Amino acid sequence: MAAMSWDAFERYKQRGLDARRAGQWDSARIYLLEAARAMIELSKDSIGPELTEARRQTAAKLFDLAKDCEDAKKNNRAPNSSRPKAEGAAEQEGGGGADQWIVKEKPTIKFADVAGLDSVKEDIRMKMIYPMQNPDLAKKFGVRLGGGILLYGPPGTGKTMLAKATAAEVDATFFRVSAADLLSKWVGEAEQNIKKLFEAAAGEQRAIIFLDEIEALIPARRDDGATVMQRVVPQILQGMEGFDKKSDRAVLFMGATNTPWQLDSAVLRPGRFDDKVYIPPPDQPARRKLLDMYLAFRPVAPDVDYDHFAQRLDGYSGADIRYVCDRSATIPFMHSLATGEDGSITSAILEEAITATPKSITPESIRRFEQWAQTTNS
């Protein structure tokens, strides 16, 4: 239930914010209300009173935004003609914290819950976990805590899950934001949002900032006139370089991208994204574990050979494999509804689902990632 509620929250919140910026007040109000309800559900599964209260406050702010959309419609307000009270009140009162537009999360999934990627996990342990577990030794050798890690690879390979697992491994506060969260049509607001984000992370004893689709925030800059990105990129780079100023704080900046070649080259320099980690499609053991995970609580026929289907799914992403398992469950489900008889997922059903599900990752895309890695690391 919690995972479904979180997905619903992210989806509804994003759609609500996009509709609000476009002045589609009715749609924005509906989506924001649904996002608030999803966050209330998440608060019921929270571990600890602080996280529960934070989520309830987030839900309250979403309700306020929904009410503002209703007022905007009544007053025939144009898009972006004035800042909603729910967003601007904190700054007017001298606050303006990042909690006005971002959710701080404490993930519970750990590395053991992420299929495969053993070498990637070890890279992250070296960057964040081992120095944090041995602070005196790290200080002796001048090994800094945190830093920057770029996760790149095809879509659906587990970049977001790996970032969440990293936060859980070190009990860090997890800041997950997107380009839509940070960017704004208001001049100067995007830069202020980024500044608030880094300040909020620096205020935590342990924090991970995770920026998905980071190429939308730090694209390659061009000399084609002033744009918001030409102001935003330096602000992000400045924030990353400021990590070392708080030696008693551990802040790990994780960026994820499906198109690393679209990133500004400045962000790839030493002191920013020191580690660039390729997240490939799952290998055979990882595919087997994914099948175990996604079929674990479903009725599966005795004739299903998990090793065979793990091999059969070679080249599929983790998201593809989950879809195959979900699709395989619908056939016996519908049969049970129609007949009242118990059904199960058979080898024939799995084979049918695989045949009907094309791979989302092409060999050409894999080659492009490998070529980019060679060029960047050379």
DSSP-derived secondary structure for 222-247: -SSS--HHHHHHHHHHHHHHGGGG-T
Regarding the domain delimited by 284-355, which CATH topology (the fold level of the hierarchy) does it fall under? Helicase, Ruva Protein; domain 3 (1.10.8)
- What is the domain partition of the chain in residue ranges? 1-96, 100-281, 284-355
Residue 300 pLDDT class (50, 70, 90 cuts): very high
In this predicted structure, which of 158-167, 233-242, 341-350 has the lowest mean pLDDT? 233-242
Q: Is the pLDDT of residue 339 over 80?
A: yes
Instruction: Say whether pTM exceeds 0.85.
Output: no
Residue 291 pLDDT class (50, 70, 90 cuts): very high
**Higher local confidence (pLDDT), 143 or 302:** 302
Span 74-99, mean pLDDT? 47
Residue 187: the pLDDT is 46
How many Cα atoms within 13 Å fall on the side-chain side of residue 276?
25
**Higher local confidence (pLDDT), 210 or 180:** 210
Residue 86: the pLDDT is 38
Most confident of 27-41, 84-98, 133-147, 326-340: 326-340
Residue 354: the pLDDT is 94
Q: Mean pLDDT in the chain? A: 77
Question: Which sign does the torsion angle of CA 275, 170, 96, 9 carry?
Answer: positive
Span 55-59, mean pLDDT? 76
| CATH class of the domain comprising 100-281 | alpha beta
Q: Is the pLDDT of residue 93 over 70?
A: no
**Closest residue by Cα to residue 173 from 182, 181, 164:** 164
Residue 98: the pLDDT is 46
